[in-house]
Structures are given as C-alpha cells and as structure tokens.
Amino acid sequence: MQSEQVEIYQFLSTIAPFSLLSAASLEEVVGSVEIGYFKAGTQILSLGDAINDLCCVRSGAVEVFRKNGELYNRLSQGGVFGYQGLLVNRHVRYPVCALEDTLIYYISGAVFREMLDREEEFADFFAVEDSTRLLQVVSRQEKSSPLMTSKVSSLIGREPVTLLSSASVQQAAQLMCEEQVSSLLVLEPVTDDVDDDQLVPDLEAGPHYIRGILTDRDLRERIIAQGLSYETAIDEVMSQSVVTINSDDFVFEAMMTMLRSHVYHLPVLKKGRPLGVINLADIVRHESQSSLFIVSNILHQTTLEGLVALRDEVNSSFVRLVNEDANSQMIGTAMAIIGRTFKQRLIELAIEALGEPPIEFCFLALGSMARDEQLIVTDQDNALILDNSYDPQQHGSYFEQLAEYVCHGLAACGYALCTGGIMATNPVWRMTQAEWEVRFCDWIDNPTPRSLLDSSIFFDLDGVYGRTEWADQLNSLVARRAKRSQRFLASMARNALLRTPPLGFFRTFVLEQDGEHKNSINLKRRGTAPLVDLIRVHALAIGSSSRNSFERLDDIVEANILPPGRGEDIKGALEFIALVRIRHQKLDLEKEIPPDNNIEPENLSNFERRNLKDAFQIVSDAQKYLTFRYQPNRAN
Amino acid sequence: MLYRSLKDTTPVAPRLDWPAIYQRQADAARDRRLKRFFQAGLPAPDSTLAELEFVALDLETTGLSVEVDDIVSVGMVPFTLQRIRCNASRNWVVRPRTPLQEEAIVIHGITHSEVRQAPRLGSIIGEVLDALEGKVAIVHCKSVEQQFLGAALERLTGQRLLFPVIDTMAQERVICAKRPVSWWQAIWGRKPLSLRLPDCRQRYHLPHYTAHHATLDAVAAAELFIAQVQHYIGDEALLRDLWE
C-alpha cells in the first residue's frame, strides 16, 4: 500500500461496513478509492444516472431522497450510500444531495462486488434492510446476556419431593426433615384410584396434577401459630393457587414471577409434569447481586427514613443490571417492581400511622410503572379508586392524608412528584369505582384530541395495593370499549404523533432547545415515548389487555394488523433506543452526575449512532402507518 | 451573491503566452525527455476548467533554499473537477545531493535509510515528466515546485524547465482579499488569513490530513482546488486566466 493511502485506510477501518473486512480486502478497497468534493447544496447523485461506485462520506453531510422527493435519510461522516443502485441495475435509485460541503470517497463498484462475494459479514451489511440490521444487533446483544441464556431447568438440584393431599401435616414435616427441603408439592393423580394408606404419589402409575404447595412458612404460620393439630390434613393448610414456571423459561423470568406474585417457591414444570421446585435462595445463589435484595430490604423498613436511605441501592442495582447486559424489558420490570414495592411499603406505613382505612380502596400505578417499563429517572403517576360507599365528608380527609403520605414519601425516595398533577394527592384523581367507570366511558365515547391529551397515561393502569381487581375491571372495560370507538382511536392516534423522532440525526437533528439541556436529544421524548404511544393505540384497537409494550406488540402481531415484519422492527427499535437511554443513565450514575434522558450526539459511539438512526427511521415509518390506519371515519 | 464577481476577476498574474513558451523550449531542447515533454504541448488556453485534466504536484525538499537544498520526494495525483484519482497517484522518494537534515526528517517522516536506498532524481525524472505531460499542474505555493523542479532539470539537462501551474495559495489570496469586510474587521483592522494548506482547507470544511507527505499533500491541494472552483472560481473559468 502506498503511504498516502494510509490516511484513507485509517479512516475506512473505523467505520462499518469496511471495519468488517479483512486487512487485505480493506487494502484492496482503499486502492480503488477516488475522491470527489461537493459544495453544500449541490447534487451528488441524480435519479436514474448510471452509478459505478459505492459512495462514503469522508467529511460533511448528505441527504438521501426517495424517488418522490421525500427525505429518506441523512448521512454524516462514515455514511455509505449508492449501494441500492449498484446492487440492482447500476442506476441511481435514491438521489443524494450535499447538505454541507462534503468530501466523498468513491469505491470502485467492481471491487465492491468482489468484496460482497468474498466477505460474508460485509455482504450481510448490505443484504439486509436497515431495520433487519437493527434486529440483528439487538438479538446479538441478547445472546450475550448470561441472565437471558440461563434456563430455569439449570437451577433444579433434585427431583421434587411430593406428597398426596391426604397426608397429615406431621407426616409432611417428617418428610421435609428427611429430605431436607423447605417445601413439598402436593400432588393428586388425575384418575382417582389411590389406596387410602398411600401417602407418596406413585408418579409412574399415571399423570398427576399439582393440588398445592406446602412450605416451611405454612407450617409455622398456618399450623403451629394457629395451634392446629398435627393430624390436620395438608389439604387444609397448603397454598392451593400454585404459581408455576416452565423449565424452558429463563432464570430472569422466574425471578420476576416470584417478585410479582410474592411467592418464594416455584414448581418447575416440563410438559405439565413437575421437574422440581426452585426457591428464592436458588436464584439468589445464581444471581448473587440481584435486585431481589433491595426488594426484601424495602419490605423490612419500618420508617420513611429507612426507605429514603435505600435510594442509592436502587441506583446501584440498576447499574448492576446494565453491567450484566440485561435487556430493557428486564431492567424495566425490575425497576417497576422496586418502585411498586416502595409504594406498597409506604401505603402500609401510612396505614400504621393513620389507622385502618374506613372503606376499601385500590391504589393505582399509571404510566411506566404500570407498563413494567420504569427506569431510573422517573416521576410518579398514581391515583386512587375508592369504594362506592365513599362519603367525602366522612372519609375525605383519611384518603387525603394517605395520598399525601405516600406521594411525598415516594418523592423523598427519588420518584419526583408529577408536574402534571396526576397523583393521588390531587382530589380529581381520587374517585369511586363508579366515577372512574364514567370517566373512562366519557374519554372513550366523547373523545377529542384535546380532552385525551393528558389522559393517555390512564390507559396504562395497574393496581398496586388494596382491591387490585378493581384496576383489572377498569382495564377490561377499556379493552372492551375502546376498540369499538373509531373516533377515540383516531384521537389517540393523532396525539401519538405529537412527538416525532429526530430523523436527521447528528448533523442537522432537531435539538432540544428549551431548558438546561441545550444541544442534546431527549431519547425518551423523541424515541421511546412516541413508540410507546403508538403501540398503545394499536393495543387499544385490538382490545389487548397487556400493558407492557413488548407484550402489547406480541398481541398486535398476533392480531395481524401490521404489515408483515413491522412488529419485529418496532420491537427492535424500542429495545435499542431504550438500551441506549439506559446505558447513558448508567454512565451518568457512574460519573456521579444526575442521570437524565438526554444524550449529546458526540457522546454516542459509532455503533450507537448508526443503529439509532435506523431505529428513528422505524419510529417515523410506524407513525406514518398509524396516521393511515386510524382515520376518524375509516372502518378497520 | 457577493462572491460571484470573483469569476470575472482580472487574472492574478500577467498573462504569459504559454504555448509559445513551450514551443521555444521544445526547439531548444537537446534532452530527449524534455523534447518529448515540450512537444506534447499544453491544453488550449481558452479551455474551461470543466474540460481539463489536472495533476496535483507536491515536492518535499531538504530545506527552503533552492541553491542549497534538494528534492527528497515527489508526489503526484491526476484529477478532474469530478474525481481525484488516488488510485493513479504516484510517489517517488529520491536521494538528495545534500545530506538530509534532522528537522527535515521530522517534517517528512522520510528516514536516512529510505533515502540511502532511493534512486537519484535523474533516473526518475522521465517518469515525472511523463506524468505531467499535457496536463495542468496544480500546486500549493508555486515557488517551491516551479523553482526546485526547474533548477533540478537545469542541473540534469542544462536546460531550465518553465511550466505553467495553477497555485491554490495564490488563488486563495485573491479570494480572501475579495471577502467582504465585516464591521468588526473594519474597526479592528483586517486580520490576514493564513494561507497555509491546512488552514485554507479548513475554510472549505475539508478534513484534516497528516501533512507533509508528498502525495497526500498533492491530494490535499487537489481537493482544495476543486473546492475553490466550486465556491468561487466556477468551472467555466478559462485556463488562461489562472495559470502562472
């Protein structure tokens, strides 16, 4: 290689796809380079012209257009264009114009084609659409995460210890001692032909189903403390609603299942047959620094000060999850569970201070916590459902004080007060069950984009404490009703388009000009929020009862209302933008500066830049599709 | 557009009748290589820049004095206003008559051992002339290239080489002088702009290169020239108004 080519070599070796080439191939590419210069505003490629070279932006910035003149992409230093035309018919398919004074490296088309034949990874880069490229990136990352690759089955140490339900609690305790286990599975044969004396199920004899589970804690709390006879049948004291997990599920999912359902033993099933039981300790051993610790820590605090002191631990468990390559869904769920636990504990402390509530209630979580998509920078959105017997004169002050205690407690624990006033402290958002139903019906039946502007958050709703089934009832009301109201969906769709992705990233991207974060992009406002909004509209349209955006997407894909492949694209985009946001918050925490949702383009790696650009393109396309699908007078 | 008027500007140097000068040199030439070079002639003086083929030329020398110092490296790259053909660039390292000074090594990155193994200029000058033949040379700071190459040929053949160049530095000087003066500059006095190659390039948003490698500098000068043409000179400008 001639030494003046070192300059070109060094440049190309840092950017994809050339960085994927072997050194010899890259030298060959470098050897074919020619250079062109274009003043800002001049045409680089014109539609239909012959094209013989692959183009790479050495410096400056260009705009790529569709045939209809619509802006397709903006590329800055390192951006590659012209390959669509080169690969198809050697005529320009996407015209390109210089946005700034731009230096272009031309790579000979013959050498380019040679590389496609010879270098597989290089070819992959061009063979796939932008969105697919993004998906590959995301799935590659997921594969590398140990938490996501360990299956529940790897935690099972032994066969389950089982017993028939006719056994006495003493017999159960003896068996547990013998086997040195802290739980027993209570099985029942599917066919009812058991000897009366038989205690241990004969699994070879036929299929059994799980009737219940008996744990150390049950023996303590339900038998000894209650003074029951040792002869009591386990049938009477065991837990009957058994939460199970499949052996193919990931360890992470087992952990989340335990946290969500407040159980510490999970029977593991394979094709319906119990393989074993895993408990919290098994997972903790597997995942020694898990976010579980903080959850139990929260539950053990007896004062508000104690809870506030845990704030740093929340941050460090967030950092740990990121460092362990957890995906955004894991992190979002873990943080939501932690937030929910704070809320639950605060409500318990409030009740200790204020006395038992005069009527039943349900404390609601709204927005990201309800969707299991909470991150570290978050404000609180909550509300209260009160029993229909609510009388403001009689009960008003109790719930006002309860709300004050919980919301200000949460604020002290790092969950900022909601600036929009969507909190239980606001009397507007303390309504009876009947009033809530009326409110939701009104939103759905008499919609205007304006009236729904601040209420989309209520369509992500989850019960946290008290009569949580009231929250489920509201959710199913919404699921039934929303899909029938085309005007409601159209209004929601219109609002979902208010926040747009910063498409022309890095060069001419639209910067957030307000507030203290000048020259940066708010990844929540411009990235994840628009996606979450549009996913919610689709989910409402199909009557999905899921709240998590990824789960909603699964429902949406199943309902077949998106063009093929689009659901996976959106998933990939959401995951990627969320991960970039998460990583930048983690970096802020490690640098001990207050984390936020803003990123400065110069702080992004090349990898992040390139893929964020793809992701924003997907957001933009998905928004366009939303406009098309939910027109006020269109029948779906 | 304030800069438009620059296109119709008067030439920066007195117009020389280069075809006639070439004819005279060809007649006088005794050296076979020189004779061929001059006989190949030059593009027509009334050609527009858009239709011309150029070659950017850069010399690295042991120092700045044409009497004492000598050429160590020659870099050339052919180009048109559309494309710089890096893949056809040439680079020669040659053994100077004067020993290489330490500071020159620092600047060029050419080492003693490289130079010791290098040929004398005399054995490659034919190739240099071939690469230059029939094309318009672009240089940044013409005095170095014109004087050193001229003097070297005089030594080798007894005949001085006079050849036209377009000097991007001289062009930049004209362009800068015509720039509008802001009120700020009017009050504080116009600060002379640097005409060093990297500084000129920066004004056209061209990237930073590791300077002082002959061919890389030639590429850098070619890029600068295209930028000057696109921004100020215009591709309809006539060759005769630019060469010196």
Assigned token pair, A165:
């339900």
The CATH architecture assigned to A152-288 reads Roll (3.10)
Given a contact cutoff of 8 angstroms between Cβ atoms, the answer to whether A327 and A148 are in contact is yes
Predicted confidence (pLDDT) at residue A155 exceeds the cutoff of 90: no
Predicted confidence (pLDDT) at residue B10 exceeds the cutoff of 50: no
Chain B CB contacts of A106 under 8 Å are: 83
Asked if B223's CB is within 8 angstroms of A33's CB, the reply is: no
According to the model, what pLDDT value does residue A430 have? 95
Q: Does B228 touch chain A (CB under 8 A)?
A: no
Chain B CB contacts of A14 under 8 Å are: none
How far, in Å, CA of A105 to CA of A110, rounded?
Answer: 15
Q: Does B4 touch chain A (CB under 8 A)?
A: no
Express each pLDDT in A194-250 by its tens digit: 555 666 777 666 777 888 999 988 888 888 888 989 899 888 889 887 888 888 787
Predicted confidence (pLDDT) at residue A287 exceeds the cutoff of 80: no
- Percent pLDDT > 70 in chain A is 88
Domain range list for chain A: 5-127, 152-288, 292-482, 483-636
How far A613 CA sits from the closest chain B CA (Å)?
A: 23
Q: Does B3 touch chain A (CB under 8 A)?
A: no
Dihedral sign for Cα A244, A250, A254, A256, please.
Answer: negative
Assigned token pair, A378:
């978050």
Q: Does A293 touch chain B (CB under 8 A)?
A: no
What's the pLDDT band for A29 if we cut at 50, 70, 90? very high
How far, in Å, CA of A39 to CA of B206, rounded?
Answer: 11
Regarding the domain delimited by A483-636, which CATH topology (the fold level of the hierarchy) does it fall under?
Four Helix Bundle (Hemerythrin (Met), subunit A) (1.20.120)
Given a contact cutoff of 8 angstroms between Cβ atoms, the answer to whether B153 and B162 are in contact is no
Predicted confidence (pLDDT) at residue A436 exceeds the cutoff of 90: yes
Q: Does A7 touch chain B (CB under 8 A)?
A: yes
Express each pLDDT in A370-419 by its tens digit: 998 988 878 899 999 999 999 999 999 999 999 999 999 999 998 998 88
CA A525 to each of CA A96, A418, A575: distance values in angstroms, whole numbers, following the listed order: 30, 16, 15
Q: Domain A5-127 in CATH: superfamily?
A: Jelly Rolls (2.60.120.10)
What's the pLDDT band for A508 if we cut at 50, 70, 90? very low
Mean residue pLDDT of chain B comes to 82
**Residue A55's beta-bridge partner residues?**
A81, A106
**Higher model confidence: residue B160 or residue A45?**
A45
Assigned token pair, B177:
């002088």
**Higher model confidence: residue B49 or residue B183?**
B49
Of A29-38, B113-122, B181-190, the range with the lowest mean pLDDT is B181-190
Determine phi and psi for A375, rounding to 5 degrees.
-120, -160
Predicted confidence (pLDDT) at residue A341 exceeds the cutoff of 80: yes
Q: Which residues contact residue A60 at a Cβ distance below 8 angstroms, ignoring those fewer than 6 apart?
A: A38, A40, A76, A77, A98, A99, A100, A101, A102, A103, B205
Mean pLDDT of A435-454: 88
Given a contact cutoff of 8 angstroms between Cβ atoms, the answer to whether A307 and A345 are in contact is yes
**Higher model confidence: residue A300 or residue A252?**
A300
Give the pairing type, strands A34-38 and B54-61.
unpaired
Q: What 3-state DSSP class applies to A407?
A: helix
According to the model, what pLDDT value does residue A530 have? 93
What's the pLDDT band for A313 if we cut at 50, 70, 90? confident
Given a contact cutoff of 8 angstroms between Cβ atoms, the answer to whether A351 and A444 are in contact is no
How far A120 CA sits from the closest chain B CA (Å)?
A: 25
Predicted confidence (pLDDT) at residue A577 exceeds the cutoff of 50: yes
Point out the residue among A2, A37, A59 whose CB comes nearest to the CB of B215: A2
Determine phi and psi for A275, rounding to 5 degrees.
-95, -30
According to the model, what pLDDT value does residue B75 have? 92
Q: Does A27 touch chain B (CB under 8 A)?
A: no
How far B241 CA sits from the closest chain A CA (Å)?
A: 23
Among residues B60, B84, B42, the alpha carbon closest in space to that of B243 is found at B42
CA B124 to each of CA A2, A363, A488, B110, B133: distance values in angstroms, whole numbers, following the listed order: 17, 88, 81, 18, 14
Asked if A34's CB is within 8 angstroms of B86's CB, the reply is: yes
According to the model, what pLDDT value does residue B155 have? 86
According to the model, what pLDDT value does residue A596 have? 85
Domains of chain B plus CATH, in order, are 2-241 (3.30.420.10)
Express each pLDDT in A64-110 by its tens digit: 888 777 777 778 888 889 888 887 778 888 899 998 889 999 999 98
Mean pLDDT of A582-598: 85
What's the pLDDT band for B208 if we cut at 50, 70, 90? confident
How far, in Å, CA of A41 to CA of A18, rounded?
Answer: 27
What's the pLDDT band for B116 if we cut at 50, 70, 90? confident
SS3 content of chain B, % helix, strand, coil (to 5): 50, 15, 40
How far, in Å, CA of B192 to CA of A268, rounded?
Answer: 80
Point out the residue among B75, B82, B86 whose CB comes nearest to the CB of A33: B86
Asked if A101's CB is within 8 angstroms of B213's CB, the reply is: no
Best probe of the A interface among B76, B108, B205, by most A CBs < 10 A, is B205
Mean residue pLDDT of chain A comes to 83
According to the model, what pLDDT value does residue B23 have? 87
- This model of the complex carries an ipTM of 0.85
Of A58-62, A84-88, A271-275, B97-101, the range with the lowest mean pLDDT is B97-101
Q: Which burial class, exposed, middle or buried, applies to A240 when counting CB atoms under 10 A from its CB (0-12, 13-18, 19+)?
A: exposed
Asked if A106's CB is within 8 angstroms of B207's CB, the reply is: no
Helix A566-590 vs helix A549-559: crossing angle, to nearest 10 = 170
Mean pLDDT of A127-132: 55
- The DSSP annotation for B201-235 comes to HHHTTPPP-----HHHHHHHHHHHHHHHIIIII-T
What's the pLDDT band for A19 if we cut at 50, 70, 90? confident
Q: Which burial class, exposed, middle or buried, applies to B196 when counting CB atoms under 10 A from its CB (0-12, 13-18, 19+)?
A: middle
Among residues A148, A116, A96, A569, the alpha carbon closest in space to that of A321 is found at A148
Q: Does A109 touch chain B (CB under 8 A)?
A: no
Mean pLDDT of B107-133: 81
Chain A CB contacts of B227 under 8 Å are: 37, 39, 101
Express each pLDDT in A188-205 by its tens digit: 877 665 555 666 777 666
Predicted confidence (pLDDT) at residue A635 exceeds the cutoff of 60: no
According to the model, what pLDDT value does residue A379 have? 84
CATH number of A292-482: 3.30.460.10
Longest dimension (CA), chain B: 59
What's the pLDDT band for A535 if we cut at 50, 70, 90? very high
What's the pLDDT band for B5 if we cut at 50, 70, 90? very low
How far, in Å, CA of A339 to CA of A333, rounded?
Answer: 10
Chain A CB contacts of B210 under 8 Å are: 7
According to the model, what pLDDT value does residue B185 have? 57
Mean pLDDT of A254-265: 77
Mean pLDDT of A523-530: 90
Residue A568: how many other CB atoms lie within 10 Å: 18
Best probe of the B interface among A37, A57, A111, by most B CBs < 10 A, is A37
